[in-house]
Structure 1
Amino acid sequence: MKGGGGGVSASYSLPAKRRWKGLVIGVLGLVFLSMLVPLVFLLGLHVHPTNGDGTEQRDSASNHVRVYDQHNDADTRNQSKVHQSTHMDDHVIRFTPSLPKVLANSSVREGGNDTNGFPTPADVPKQVKKNSGSLDRDKTGENMTGADESEMICELKFGSYCLWRQQQKEKMEDSVVKKMKDLLFVARAYYPSIAKLPELDKLSHELKQNIQDFERVLSETTTDKDLPPQNMQKLTMMEAAIAKAKSFRVDCNNVDKKFRQLVDLTEDEANFHMKQSAFLYKLAVQTIPKSLHCLSMRLTVEYFRTSFEVEEALIEKFVNPDLYHYIIFSRNILASSVVINSTALNAKESGKQVFHLLTDRENYFSMKLWFFRNNYGDAAVQVLNIEDLKLYNHHKVAPLDLSLPEEFRVSFRRVDKLSSTQFRTQYLSMFSHSHYLLPEIFQSLKKIVVLDDDIVVQSDFSALWNIDMGEKVNGAMQSCAVKLFHLKTYLPSSNFDENSCAWTSGVNIIDLSRWREHNLTGKYQRLVHEMKKGDGISETSTLSASLLTFEGLVYGLEDSWMVSGLGYNYGVDLESIETAAVLHFDGSMKPWLELGIPKYKSFWRKFLNPQNQLLNDCNVNQ
């Protein structure tokens, strides 16, 4: 009985022990898993950092912002003060920089970024779609600010080239060839990983065959029309092979490395082509068109075959202070001809109009013959070679040289309370060194109107001559969006009214008598001398010296007198153009260039004579 009882007791205790051991193992397993899961989660965050939306962070996501938003530690500590007040950063850039500087701006890459501030493909200006006055959802917030900043970066670096590129943007051609190149890059990225797996020999051979076929086709073809007839079948086979490769688990590091190489190469190529195209654009802007060169050469040859004399009556007009005298500095025959023609045609009394055209020795003979052969109503035209003028004491200092009005692009950066960067750009055209010789060149005149050669006159100027400027010297269009305190870092002294507005050339009525009383020529030369750095003059010396020379002596003309921006702004209202007294084609896109804005060219070209044989022979009217 005891033995039987003992046997029964043992048979019941064995399962109980097993249950107890299973419970212990289960508890230990739960404890181990509770420690393992957080560890894996933390390791995963370390390896794959993510943004708030779950996407991987990229170091170059906001590189283009650093071009304008470079704050030091002191700025960071005073961030609250920045939020409370408007912060302005001034950038003054010569509108048409010299060609060597464009070539000298080479790209230095650091981590895939252009350290010289040239835009990467991510910085290419983006078109903002407008639907019934509202923006798309993905265009708002930070994305919208980034688009504005990239457009501003491009404009600051390349000027009107960015505007021209947007306007001339065309639909992508040869899309099939470009698609084949993309598929070829993807196949090359996956092939090394597929080739390492023995069980995928068939797929590896298929990828290799497709890659070779694509390389052979692309080596012989650059356009869609030259593709072989069976190309669509090859395209389908390549897409199928890539889809199979993506379905297998391969070494992602190798694929990622290949794609990063592709991105780097593409960015390098995009940067190169952007700089190259911007340089060619500026070269086209600064180079005289072939048609104008033809016209100048033919007129110069004809000049030495023609004998003519200036009438005595015209000589008397040139020095008569009671007439309306206009001064133009130009090397461009057509541009100066349009200015004179448009002014004379719209004048109520063309017989009182006298135009003095100052040019250099290279263009003097062609302009002399052109304005001798062409009549502009009863207006008188005098062509002068500035290099042959004998000015009092000036020829002893340095030889005379013609300099045209200089154009500047002034840009401001403002950081508002939300720390989003906003930009504003203004264009200013300023007098050159030659303009400050006017009192000595025209000693018998008391009042003149200075015209730039990139304007078109659409109304009578009698009211302009009758303006009473009081004690002012320079009647000009003012741009109060740009004040002297915006440019104080470029001004040589602090003794000026910071709230004075900037002024622009284009149409300027000058009181030469008061100019001589204030000795503004000497003041300008003294300011330029103060801003000399070493043996040269800074790029902004003309802008700074001109603004300070006429400080407090500028009479602001009404805005209705002139519409500006026709050489860089595509958005000028056509109605305001038709009603304005003067159209100013300031900017790089001059109307006589092929790069000129097409919808504004008609306002300039209508003052050319389409029946002129020389213009037709040199293809000027085409």
Structure 2
Amino acid sequence: MKGGILPAKRRWKGLVIAVLGLVLLSLLVPLVFLLGLHNGFHSSGYTTPQHSSASDDESTHVDDLMQRLEPTFPKDFGENIVVGKAENKTAGFPLLDGLPKERLGVNSTGVGDLAKAKQSTGVGDLAKKKQSTGVGDLGKKKQSTDVGSTPGATENIRDIDEGEKLCELKFGSYCLWRRNHKEKVNDFTVRKMKDLLYVARAYYPSIAKLPALDKLSHEMKQNIQDFERVLSVTTVDKDLPPLIDQKLPKMEAVIAQAKACRVDCSNVDKKFRQLVDLTEDEATFHMRQSAFLYQLAVQTMPKSHHCLSMRLTVEYFRDPPPDIDQSLAERHLNPDLHHFVIFSSNVLASSAVINSTVTHAKESENQVFHVVTDRQNYFAMKLWFSRNKYMEATVEVLNIEDHKLENNKASTSIHLSLPEEYRVSFHKVDGPPTTEYLSVFSHSHYLLPEIFPSLKKVVVLDDDIIVQRDLSVLWGINMDGKVNGAVQCCSVRLIQLQKLFADKRLDETSCAWMSGLNVIDLVRWKEQDISGRYLKLVTEMNSEEAVALRASLLAFQGELYALDDKWVLSGLGHNYGVDIETVKNARVLHYNGNMKPWLELGIRDYTVSWRKFLNQENQFLSDCNIN
């Protein structure tokens, strides 16, 4: 019996061991892949890198953040054009499909790959720049930039200008802001230390390989570590430690000894090239990081403005304003008055627009302003405009989300969308690209006939404008049966954007038009069914790239009445080159671009014209530190 039991037990134990082994293998195999131990295997045509540095992780993190704020680049928009989505005209995040969108430009072939864009624009390509311009050869550089050398100086200025244009193409208006906010810093010694450290690092590997130079190798290593330690916490000369003047001669002496030694020049050259590539990548990373922070700043509502909105909302429920007078309600529907429509979620911006308009009006009692906002800002707007008077004008605040539209189902919610801005860049064969900033109607604007069924004509104002002349003459303009009276931007013609519209037929003489100040004939709008035309175009466009731009330009093709260019001065939110006297004499100022006048990043020379229409004595502004 015992002899028969033992073999059975052995077989049973063998089966248990085999089962346990299979269980362990089934657990280990997924763990191997989860822990990244499969790096040696190929997957989808590429191999996972086995080593990554801290700088790579940081760069990847920033790239990921920028991709969240900036969706993938539009592709194949044209061989000669670049279209980028600029911020919405609100201080908060512009939301489109759930994500804030700021599309930076792409190169002329529509390539969305950053690496290819980097090659095409040359931004941060230090190695190529070194070869082409001889960076590092101080003697030649001095000769080429010498005051007496006119051709060299002219070429240098041209290179700088083209570099800025290419930078703007890739990073948008951040490059303009950076150029105009550069501060002169005293960092001569710091830069000298970095140059010495750069050379020492290049020679050290070759010196360390020679046993006869152990003492020099040790001294060089010690100096490199000292410089690295100091430069890790220092950016300007005033932050340098007191004994730095003693360290510089030591490093210079060590480098001189290294240069006197017989070393393999190819190794030194190889190390130099590695350092150049590393510096190039670091410069590109910092440029992208700075551009990301800039975009975050221009898209985020300032703390003081958020405070104002919250305080007004709380005050509304604490002490709600009285119900509107019946006579005022009748004025809202009277088609014989001058009606202005503003789509906005910014209390101060819409207030400045209205205040500037009534200030320069000859008869403000004929003016009615309709501020269309969302539920989040409705109560703040309601309280603000009930407690602030604008001469004899009437102000109505509407919540677009509570508005019942005939052609919309009850379950379909309506969301406020503000005027959208696009940056359009054109490549030139014989020069740097040119850039224009276009602002166009959003989806909400095409609800105008349904929101205001009793009105015949309205003037639509963006919330980033300031009025400096009387606008009553706009109601006397004969628009020749056209729907939209707008200022045109003929530096951008529709035929130049042909590839944006696929097989659509375009009028070669048609120019792009701008929102900001628009005279709208609502009767003619209904007759031509502009809203239906726009919705049909949006439905036909499978791609979501620049939908508002493409659909708006096509919807109003043949229905535009060109206003005199003198009506609106545009570009005050991105162009530093506008003359101050021109700003003072303009009829309407349009702060289109990223640098809105209510932001810290606004162009200070132009924000003066905006700030003077704020009531600085208002208690809410004081409490929220808006100055």
TM-score bracket, normalised by the shorter chain, equals 0.7 to 0.9
How far is the alpha carbon of 1:312 from its aligned partner? 1.5
CA distance in 1, matches of 2:424, 2:148: 30
**Structure 1 residues 549-577: Cα deviation after superposition (integer angstroms, max 9, x where no partner):** 11111111111111000000000111111
Normalised to the residue count of structure 2, the TM-score between the two structures is 0.77
Asked if 1:606 corresponds to 2:616, the answer is no
Q: Rate the CA distance shift 1:216–1:274 in 2: closer, same or farther, 3 A.
A: closer
CA distance in 2, matches of 1:519, 1:344: 32
How far is the alpha carbon of 1:159 from its aligned partner? 1.2
Larger radius of gyration: 1
Which is further off, 450-459 or 156-165?
Answer: 156-165
Equivalent residue, structure 1, for 2:396? 382
How far is the alpha carbon of 1:411 from its aligned partner? 1.4
Q: Is the 8 A contact 2:81 2:424 kept in 1?
A: yes
Q: 1:347 aligns with which of 361, 381, 390?
A: 361
Q: 1:94 aligns with which of 85, 104, 124?
A: 85
Equivalent residue, structure 2, for 1:327? 341
Q: Is the 8 A contact 1:118 1:271 kept in 2?
A: no
Q: Rate the CA distance shift 1:189–1:344 in 2: closer, same or farther, 3 A.
A: same
How far is the alpha carbon of 1:496 from its aligned partner? 3.0
One-letter amino acid of the structure 1 residue matched with residue 395 of structure 2: V
The correspondence of residues 139-150 of structure 1 with structure 2, limited to 5 A, is 139-140=153-154, 146-150=159-163
Gaps of 5+ in 1: 1-69, 72-86
The correspondence of residues 254-265 of structure 1 with structure 2, limited to 5 A, is 254-265=267-278
CA distance in 1, matches of 2:460, 2:252: 67
CA distance in 1, matches of 2:458, 2:102: 37
SS of residue in 1 equivalent to 2:622: helix
Equivalent residue, structure 2, for 1:237? 250
How far is the alpha carbon of 1:268 from its aligned partner? 1.3
SS of residue in 2 equivalent to 1:395: coil
Q: Is the 8 A contact 1:429 1:586 kept in 2?
A: yes
One-letter amino acid of the structure 2 residue matched with residue 92 of structure 1: V
Equivalent residue, structure 2, for 1:498? 508
Asked if 1:227 corresponds to 2:240, the answer is yes
One-letter amino acid of the structure 2 residue matched with residue 267 of structure 1: E
Asked if 1:401 corresponds to 2:415, the answer is yes
Q: Is the 8 A contact 2:365 2:393 kept in 1?
A: yes
Equivalent residue, structure 1, for 2:491? 481
CA RMSD of aligned residues (A): 3.0
Q: 1:453 aligns with which of 463, 483, 507?
A: 463
Equivalent residue, structure 1, for 2:443? 433
CA distance in 2, matches of 1:172, 1:603: 31
**Structure 1 residues 322-370: Cα deviation after superposition (integer angstroms, max 9, x where no partner):** 1000000000000000000000111011111100000000000000000
How far is the alpha carbon of 1:215 from its aligned partner? 4.5
One-letter amino acid of the structure 2 residue matched with residue 487 of structure 1: L
Q: Is the 8 A contact 2:420 2:441 kept in 1?
A: yes
CA distance in 1, matches of 2:308, 2:217: 66
Normalised to the residue count of structure 1, the TM-score between the two structures is 0.78
One-letter amino acid of the structure 1 residue matched with residue 607 of structure 2: K
Q: Is the 8 A contact 2:573 2:592 kept in 1?
A: yes
Q: 1:193 aligns with which of 202, 206, 228?
A: 206
How far is the alpha carbon of 1:292 from its aligned partner? 0.3
CA distance in 1, matches of 2:404, 2:542: 26
How far is the alpha carbon of 1:291 from its aligned partner? 0.4
Equivalent residue, structure 1, for 2:282? 269
Q: Rate the CA distance shift 1:238–1:437 in 2: closer, same or farther, 3 A.
A: same
How far is the alpha carbon of 1:447 from its aligned partner? 0.6
One-letter amino acid of the structure 2 residue matched with residue 318 of structure 1: H
How far is the alpha carbon of 1:300 from its aligned partner? 0.3
Q: Rate the CA distance shift 1:220–1:115 in 2: closer, same or farther, 3 A.
A: closer
Q: Is the 8 A contact 2:498 2:506 kept in 1?
A: no
CA distance in 1, matches of 2:274, 2:580: 48
Asked if 1:585 corresponds to 2:595, the answer is no
Q: Is the 8 A contact 2:341 2:458 kept in 1?
A: yes
CA distance in 1, matches of 2:537, 2:208: 73
Q: 1:362 aligns with which of 364, 373, 376?
A: 376
How far is the alpha carbon of 1:148 from its aligned partner? 4.2
One-letter amino acid of the structure 1 residue matched with residue 554 of structure 2: L
**Structure 1 residues 260-312: Cα deviation after superposition (integer angstroms, max 9, x where no partner):** 22111111111111111111111111111100000000000000011311111
Q: 1:470 aligns with which of 473, 480, 498?
A: 480
**Structure 1 residues 430-473: Cα deviation after superposition (integer angstroms, max 9, x where no partner):** 00111011011111100100000000000111222211112111
Equivalent residue, structure 1, for 2:176? 163
CA distance in 1, matches of 2:285, 2:426: 28
Asked if 1:558 corresponds to 2:554, the answer is no
**Structure 1 residues 412-441: Cα deviation after superposition (integer angstroms, max 9, x where no partner):** 1232xxxx3442222111001110110111
Which is further off, 395-404 or 254-263?
Answer: 395-404
SS of residue in 1 equivalent to 2:601: coil
One-letter amino acid of the structure 2 residue matched with residue 354 of structure 1: V
**Structure 1 residues 577-611: Cα deviation after superposition (integer angstroms, max 9, x where no partner):** 11111000000000000111111110000000111
Percent identical pairs in the alignment equals 60
One-letter amino acid of the structure 1 residue matched with residue 594 of structure 2: S
One-letter amino acid of the structure 2 residue matched with residue 594 of structure 1: E
SS of residue in 2 equivalent to 1:387: coil
CA distance in 1, matches of 2:159, 2:122: 15
How far is the alpha carbon of 1:173 from its aligned partner? 4.6
One-letter amino acid of the structure 2 residue matched with residue 401 of structure 1: H
Q: Is the 8 A contact 2:449 2:522 kept in 1?
A: yes
One-letter amino acid of the structure 2 residue matched with residue 372 of structure 1: S
Gaps of 5+ in 2: 1-74, 88-93, 107-111, 134-144
How far is the alpha carbon of 1:219 from its aligned partner? 6.0
Q: Is the 8 A contact 1:324 1:354 kept in 2?
A: yes
Question: Number of residue pairs matched?
Answer: 519
Equivalent residue, structure 2, for 1:294? 307
CA distance in 2, matches of 1:93, 1:134: 41
How far is the alpha carbon of 1:229 from its aligned partner? 2.6
CA distance in 2, matches of 1:456, 1:393: 34
SS of residue in 1 equivalent to 2:318: coil
**Structure 1 residues 76-96: Cα deviation after superposition (integer angstroms, max 9, x where no partner):** xxxxxxxxxxx9712221113
Q: Rate the CA distance shift 1:176–1:410 in 2: closer, same or farther, 3 A.
A: same
Q: Rate the CA distance shift 1:479–1:619 in 2: closer, same or farther, 3 A.
A: same
